Every structure is written in C-alpha cells, then in structure tokens.
C-alpha cells in the first residue's frame, strides 16, 4: 500500500499538519498572553477603585472599562446575589439557609466559571506540545521507508543517493520539535499565570465576603 504513495505526499502532508499546529500554537500564545495581561490590568484598576467605595451600593457607579476583569465580575455577582437575598429571603429555596454559606457557594461557582475561561486553550497547547514531535517522527519514518525502497530499487548505495532522501525525511522531525517547544513553554507559562490569578481571585472572594457580610449586618 505504501508503495503506491509518493514520499513527497507523505512529507508534505506531515509538514502541512505541523504548520497548522504552529499557526494554532502562536495564535493561542498571543491570545492567552493578551488575556492574562488584560485581566491583570483590569483587576488592578478595579481593586484600586473598589476599596475606595463607601459601600457596595456604589459598585454599579464604577466606570464600565474597569469592570472587565475577573474580580469585577465576582464583585458584581456577589452584590447582585445579596440584593436578591434581601428581597427573596424566606420566599425562594435558593435563598434558604445560612447567608455566609450561600454567598460563598455563589462566589465559588462564579470563580469556577472564571477559571474555566482562563483555562480555555491550555488543553490544546498541551496536546500540540506532546503530539507534534510524534507527527514529525511519523513523517520521518515513512519518508525513510520510501527512501530505502528507492535506494534498493536503484541498486546504488552511494552517499549522494542515500543522504538526499533521508535528509529530507529528517526535516519533519526537526520541524515537529520546533513546533512542540513553544507550545510546551507557553503551556507552562499559562499554567503558572492561571495558578497566580486563581489564588488572587480566591483572596478577593474571602475579603469581599468579609466586607459584604459586615456591611449587611
């Protein structure tokens, strides 16, 4: 079956696959870098204004451009829930129970959503980083198989005949490694940023709950 397949088709197919992986990788790298930097910048601006508020009722008066980060969304969710709790306590099951536990549950749910948003694309980066070398190796192995077949058919074992086809086949492995390295580095960087920002969000949730419940009482 492989005898009917041109070696160039196999190598080209592998290279086009790796090029596609590379485009996806760098698109994700640029997007995730922007996402983390934008979120961190919005969070800093939001916190600077948030802690200067006299009470939570003034939260909706903050400029919309600083309410685009994860902490702003957490604060809005918490504040909205508190307002609903004041109006629906004892009337709806979701507002029945200890207010501290209910508020924490609401904020934890939103925190999970924010984390999932920050995680988007990381699985794909990890997959590309782990599979790209094998895709390149696959192209190399098949390329060498065809090269050996051609060498055998020609009956010549001179260096010129052997080196050319095998050298072309090895290019696929080199490109596979070149695609995998940025993907792995970007994944590790994004994973660390995710842990830092999640820890920052958890600290904000804890502080927000203290302020919110103190003002409510």
Q: What is the mean pLDDT of residues 135-164?
A: 71
pLDDT at residue 89, as a whole number? 59
pLDDT-based confidence at residue 212 (cuts at 50, 70, 90) = confident
Distance CA 157, CA 147 (A): 11
Q: Which of 27-31, 97-101, 187-191 has the lowest mean pLDDT?
A: 97-101
DSSP string, 162-195: HHHHHHHHHHHHHHHHHHHHHHHHHHHHHHHHHH
**Residues 75/50, Cβ–Cβ less than 8 Å:** yes
Distances (CA, A) of 180 to 26, 186, 194: 11, 10, 21
Give the single-character DSSP code of 5.
S
Residues 45-70: pLDDT tens digits?
888 888 888 777 778 777 777 778 89
Q: Which of 6-15, 52-61, 158-167, 176-185 has the lowest mean pLDDT?
A: 158-167
Task: Determine if the pTM surpasses 0.85.
Answer: no
Distance CA 75, CA 69 (A): 10
Tell me the two tokens of residue 71: 């902490």
pLDDT at residue 155, as a whole number? 63
Distance CA 200, CA 96 (A): 29
| Mean confidence (pLDDT) of the chain | 82
Task: Tell me: pLDDT of 116 over 50.
Answer: yes
Q: Which of 138-142, 151-155, 193-197 has the lowest mean pLDDT?
A: 151-155
Distance CA 207, CA 104 (A): 11
Q: What is the mean pLDDT of residues 101-120?
A: 90
> Which of 89, 189, 88, 169 minimizes the C-alpha distance to 129?
189
Q: Which of 18-22, 52-56, 180-184, 190-194 has the lowest mean pLDDT?
A: 52-56
Q: Which residue has the higher pLDDT, 9 or 109?
A: 109
Q: Which of 6-15, 89-98, 104-113, 201-210 has the lowest mean pLDDT?
A: 89-98
pLDDT-based confidence at residue 1 (cuts at 50, 70, 90) = very low
């Amino acid at each position: 079956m492989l005898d009917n397949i041109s070696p160039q088709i196999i190598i080209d197919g592998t290279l086009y696959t790796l090029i596609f992986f590379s485009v996806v990788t760098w698109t994700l790298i640029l997007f995730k870098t922007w996402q983390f930097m934008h979120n961190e910048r919005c969070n800093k601006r939001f916190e600077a204004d948030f802690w200067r508020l006299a009470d939570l009722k003034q939260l909706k008066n903050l400029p919309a451009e600083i309410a685009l980060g994860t902490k702003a969304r957490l604060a809005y969710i918490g504040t909205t829930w508190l307002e609903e709790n004041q109006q629906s306590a004892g009337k709806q099951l979701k507002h029945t129970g200890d207010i501290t536990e209910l508020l924490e549950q609401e904020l934890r749910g939103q925190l999970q959503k924010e984390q999932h948003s920050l995680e988007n694309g990381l699985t794909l980066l990890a997959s590309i980083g782990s599979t790209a070398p094998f895709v390149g190796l696959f192209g190399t192995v098949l390329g060498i198989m065809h090269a050996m077949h051609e060498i055998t058919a020609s009956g010549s074992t001179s260096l010129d005949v052997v080196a050319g086809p095998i050298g072309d086949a090895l290019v696929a492995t080199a490109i596979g490694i070149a695609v995998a390295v940025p993907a792995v580095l970007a994944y590790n960087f994004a994973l660390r940023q995710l842990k830092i920002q999640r820890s920052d969000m958890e600290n904000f949730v804890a502080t927000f709950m203290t302020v919110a419940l103190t003002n409510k009482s």
